[in-house]
């Protein structure tokens, strides 16, 4: 497992971590298998979606804010209940295939760490498993 360190700069943002994950897969030596990216935090998430047009991610962030507004009379008293709910909706991990020693994503896909309670220092755990050459 590789532990990646990230720093977010806004309360809500999506950081493209694709190249960091690609590097972890290459360094693992796995040729055929899968890679899981996991966020060990309760107010951020992992998503795979379009990485070519940044408007897609901005639209996502704008609409998730509408779906789960920051001030909505939550029971949780820390003031970040919306961030917990947003992270629950997106999910803490994504698993992508590894083939030929590379992460295999669709033509426009990228891997994002979605921050909902920043700015913060964050970790991502990348686990690569499968066959290595003999």
pLDDT surpasses 90 at 133? no
Which domains, from first to last, does the chain contain? Answer: 2-131 (2.60.120.460)
Neighbouring-strand partners of residue 15: 113
Beta bridge partners of 129: 34
For residues 75-99, average pLDDT: 96
- The predicted model gives 88-115 an average pLDDT of 98
| pLDDT over 70, % of the chain | 100
* 3-state SS track over the chain: CEEEEEECCCCCEEEECHHHHHHHHHHHCCCEEEEEEECCCCCEEEEEEECCCHHHHHHHHHHHHHHCCCCCCCCCCCCCHHHHHHHHHHCCEEEEEEECCEECCCCCEEEEEEECCCCCEEEEEEEEEEECCC
- For the whole prediction, is pTM greater than 0.85? yes
CA angle 17-4-12, nearest 5°?
Answer: 55
User: pLDDT of 60-82, one tens digit each?
Assistant: 999 999 999 998 888 998 899 99
């Amino acid at each position: 497992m590789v532990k990646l360190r990230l720093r977010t700069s806004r309360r809500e943002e999506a950081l493209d971590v694709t190249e960091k994950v690609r590097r972890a897969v290459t360094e693992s030596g796995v040729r055929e298998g899968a890679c899981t990216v996991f966020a060990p935090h309760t107010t951020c998430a992992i998503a795979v979606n379009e990485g070519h047009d940044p408007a897609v991610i901005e639209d996502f962030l704008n609409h998730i804010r509408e779906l789960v507004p920051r001030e909505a009379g939550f029971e949780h008293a820390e003031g970040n209940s919306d961030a917990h709910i947003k992270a629950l909706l997106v999910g803490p991990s994504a698993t992508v295939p590894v083939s030929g020693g590379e992460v295999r994503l669709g033509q426009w896909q990228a891997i994002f760490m979605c921050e909902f309670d920043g700015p913060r220092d964050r970790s991502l755990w990348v686990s690569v498993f499968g066959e290595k050459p003999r």
